[in-house]
Amino acid sequence: MNRPAWLLKSELAFLVLLCSALLLLAPGNVCNRSIRRTKQAVLTHDLQVMRMAIDAYTFDEEDTPKSLQDLVAKRYLSEIPANPFTGKKDWVPTFKNVVVGPGKTSFGVDYVYSGTAMTDCEGWPRHSKPLPKLRTWP
């Protein structure tokens, strides 16, 4: 069957247009899922960096930070990052007594969670899926 060349090009253009419309209009489309996963990766990274800064502060200063702002003041963080889902600095620190040396304890920030109540891409609540502690104190 002989078809004109322009007809083949128009059929191809129509198929490309149809496929892109299906991808964009599909519920939970690929673009939104990708953006959510990227935000989740940024959130996980920010939490890990803040938790490492809390551990480093506690180890170096032999005291726990009293707030997340203490980490910035002592230059363990350049700034407190904004939550990628809310755009706010709505982190939830947990406070408790921490062993900072032989026979010495300090009350202060021990851990930090996201203040976002939504779930991540895997269905976990963003604020309750803790990362493993990086350092344990004797």
* In a domain? residue 16: no
49 falls within a domain = yes
Q: Write out the H or E segment, with its range, that includes residue 17.
A: helix 5-25
Return the SS3 of 27.
Answer: coil
Give a yes or no: residue 66 inside a domain: yes
For residue 36, give its domain range: 32-138
pLDDT, residue 49, reads 93
> Across the 138 residues of the chain, what is the mean pLDDT of every consecutive 10-residue run?
66 82 67 80 90 93 94 95 90 91 91 72 50 53
With respect to residue 24, please indicate whether it lies within any of the assigned structural domains.
Answer: no
Residue of 48, 53, 56, 83 lying closest to 68 (CA atoms): 53
**Is 50 inside a domain boundary?**
yes
Asked if the structure places residue 54 within a domain, the reply is: yes
What pLDDT was estimated at residue 30? Answer: 61
Domain count of the chain? 1
pLDDT, residue 9, reads: 75
| pLDDT (0 to 100) of residue 109 | 94
Q: Is residue 40 part of a domain?
A: yes
- pTM (global) more than 0.95: no
- Please give the pLDDT value at position 11: 80
**pLDDT in the model for residue 36:** 81
Q: Quick check: is 71 in a domain?
A: yes
Give the integer Cα–Cα distance in Å for 23 and 29. 6
